[in-house]
Structures are given as C-alpha cells and as structure tokens.
Amino acid sequence: MRTQVGIIGAGPAGLLLSHLLHLRGIESVVLERRSREYVERRVRAGVLEQGTVDTLVEAGVGERLKREGLPHHGIELRYGGAGHRIAFERLVPGRCITVYGQQEVVKDLIAARLAAGGDVRFEVDDVALHDIGTDRPSLTFGGERLDCDVIAGCDGFHGVSRDSIPGGVLTEHRRDYPFAWLGILARVKPSSEELIYARTERGFALHSMRSPEISRFYLQVAPDEDVAAWPDERIWAELRTRLETVPGFALATGEIIERSVTPMRSFVAEPMQYGRLFLAGDAAHIVPPTGAKGLNLAVADVRVLTEALARFFASGSAEALDGYSRACLPRVWRAQHFSWWMTTLLHTFDSDDAYARRLQTSHLDYVASSDAAGTTLAENYVGLPYEESL
C-alpha cells in the first residue's frame, strides 16, 4: 500500500489533519489502535478557542458545532467569598470560547472523513515506524506495510511516534505538579451559565458543562488519589464546600456518570519533527488543563502542518516542512506559560506559607480589578489569532 501522508492516531489532531489534507487534494491513511466506539465516547476537553471554532467551520465540519455548541463570553474567578467575571465581550470584542466536547468534534470529523471516502482504520495493532530519517518512510501494522512520503504522529503522549525518534534528537522539557484533578461528569443541568474557576483553602474547583443537561466538574486532589475513595456523597459535599462560597449560589446535584483522576503535568518535546516524521498535539506537548489549551494547540499544529504539506506536494520544496517546529513552538510555549500561570494562580500548594497565599490573593485581585490584567487572561483564554489563513 502507498499513501502521501500516513497519520497515526484518530483523535482531533489526526482526523482534522486528514480532513484538511483531503480538502487540498492530498491523500492520507489514518491508523488508530482503539475502536471507533472508544474514540467517539472518550471524554476529554470541552472548551474550544475562537480560532478552533473558525477552523472547524471553515473546514466544513462545524454544522453541529454551530447548532449545539455553547458560546461563552466570560468566565468567573471565585475566591475570598466573591465572584469576579472576566468579560470577554468587553476585553476582547468579537472573540469568545465555545463549550463543545472533544468527543463531539471527533464524531463530526470521523463522519466527514468516511462520507468523503477517507481511509480511517480502527483497532490497528502493532504500529511501527520505519526509515523516518529518509525520504522513504513507512509504517507497518498487523502484518501490512504502508509506504508514505510523510508520517504525522498524532497519537498522543503515550503513542509510538515520539518514541520512534532516535535518542539524543529531542530535548524534552517537563514539569509535574504536586496534585491531580478528580474529573466528574454528571447528568445535571449546569448551576451557572459560564465556567467558574474557584480557589479555596481546601483546593481548586472548576464548574464546567458539556451541554444544557450535562455538567462537568473538577476537584484538586492528591496526585496519587484513589478514585474509589470518592463516592457520590463525598464528591457533592466537597463541590458544595468549594463552590458555594458566594451569596445566593446553590449547586445542583444529580447522577454522576463518570469519574476519573487526571495527573497534572507540562511537557514539550523539541524539535517537533525528525526527518519525515512530524509530531502534532499531545505527541509533542502536554499542558495542565487549567488553561483549556490541549485540544486547541493540536488544532494550531495541524493548521501549520497542513499548509507546509500543501506547499511540499505542490512544489516539491521542503522549506515549509523544515520550518514546522519553528512555526509551532512560539504558540506552544505561550500556551505553556498561560497554563502554568492559571494553574499556579488558582491551586493550593502544600509548600505554600501565609506569605505565598497572600501573594496569590493579591495577584487574583489584580486580575479581577485591572482591565490590563484581565485582558491578558481573556485574550489568552479565547486564543490568540492565527497569523496564517487556511
């Protein structure tokens, strides 16, 4: 078998790349080790930047997103017994975020690829990369071989792509945080129209949503927390303690349909390429979810890679491909800093003393009261504009 671009991973990065390449007349094959049912039901991020929404709409896969997505024009910072709204419509006019689950994006992209005759293969075993340092790379899987001009590694942090790069090529930057998030999905109407980021002495809490009927919550917990230690009653009690801190706010409760513990870490591998292998999304970088940047960074990577591949196949020039990492990394590091900043601003640390906590409160006060500081948060949260067009 042969294709122009072999793509490993049928998450948002791999599927969107395949679809954008299709729109440019470039062939691809997507290989995914999980089943279609698994990737379509896997609950992940739910906050889409303005640029991500625009990209999906421009690519022709935004019809259901426009119909069912929930545009938000602000978020609330809740601390010290008061709520402080960061108003996007005033601070960054014309830009907002949209709440629409990652699994819904995946469903839309899979449907679009299959409707267009795209080659997306699920439950693929033993994917291996070969000759990635040459101009004749290939993939093997399940006893088959796929020759490619280029390979895109979109298979996440634990995938095979990054580990296939020879030792000593990549510089890996990593930071692990001394806490995790307990994520809860509940069948209950959201208690707020916008996301609430709450800082308390007991730890951070986030009130989010996935639809008008489904709410998403997060609690800061220990990094080795056992999810079995959190029955429904304990979860709701802790959420009330951390969220019901302003007058008049009451948390609605309901059936908890999913709970899991997510470690908090930051990671960047650079360069994001080696030979004819190009990494995108979580295969190249991880951010703590506080800033809602993971999925959105993957989309930004894919936009750059699509344009570079289009130029390569149109002219034979590899100049844009060679500059892929240089084009992506400034945005990656901006998102890294923003995610770190939001995380340190809102979480409690065991090492904090009274001085550190007062500094944290002072910074929150500044963000809540200063248009300059609030705009910094708002423009990073809704996503910096893209310099290039699709």
Contacts 24+ apart (CB under 8 A), 121-124: 121/29, 121/30, 121/31, 121/32, 122/10, 122/32, 122/34, 122/35, 122/36, 122/39, 123/32, 123/33, 123/34, 123/35, 124/31, 124/32, 124/33
Helix 102-115 vs helix 12-23: crossing angle, to nearest 10: 40
Instruction: Based on the residue annotation, tell me whether 355 is a catalytic residue of this protein.
Output: no
Identify whether the C-beta of residue 274 lies closer than 8 Å to the C-beta of residue 152. no
Q: How far apart are CA 118 and CA 10, in angstroms?
A: 12
- What is the DSSP-derived secondary structure letter of residue 26? -
- Which one is catalytic: 107, 137, 289, 347? 289
- Which one is catalytic: 100, 197, 218, 324? 197
- Which one is catalytic: 12, 19, 72, 285? 72
Cβ density class 49-65: b for 16+ within 10 Å, e for less: bbbbbbbbeebebbeeb
Instruction: Based on the residue annotation, tell me whether 38 is a catalytic residue of this protein.
Output: no
Identify whether the C-beta of residue 308 lies closer than 8 Å to the C-beta of residue 321. yes
Number of neighbouring beta carbons within 10 Å of residue 46: 26
Q: How far apart are CA 77 and CA 198, in angstroms?
A: 6
Instruction: Based on the residue annotation, tell me whether 293 is a catalytic residue of this protein.
Output: yes
Instruction: Based on the residue annotation, tell me whether 366 is a catalytic residue of this protein.
Output: no
- Which one is catalytic: 79, 274, 324, 381? 381
Residue partners of 115: CB distance under 8 A and separation at least 6: none
Strand 285-286 vs strand 255-270: parallel, antiparallel, or unpaired? antiparallel
Query: Is residue 278 helix, strand or coil?
Result: strand
- Which one is catalytic: 107, 207, 285, 293? 293
Report residue 231 as tokens.
Answer: 């029955």
Number of neighbouring beta carbons within 10 Å of residue 340: 17
Instruction: Based on the residue annotation, tell me whether 197 is a catalytic residue of this protein.
Output: yes
- What is the DSSP-derived secondary structure letter of residue 2? B
Identify whether the C-beta of residue 286 lies closer than 8 Å to the C-beta of residue 257. no
Helix 12-23 vs helix 294-315: crossing angle, to nearest 10: 30
Number of neighbouring beta carbons within 10 Å of residue 73: 19
Catalytic residue numbers read 72, 197, 289, 293, 381
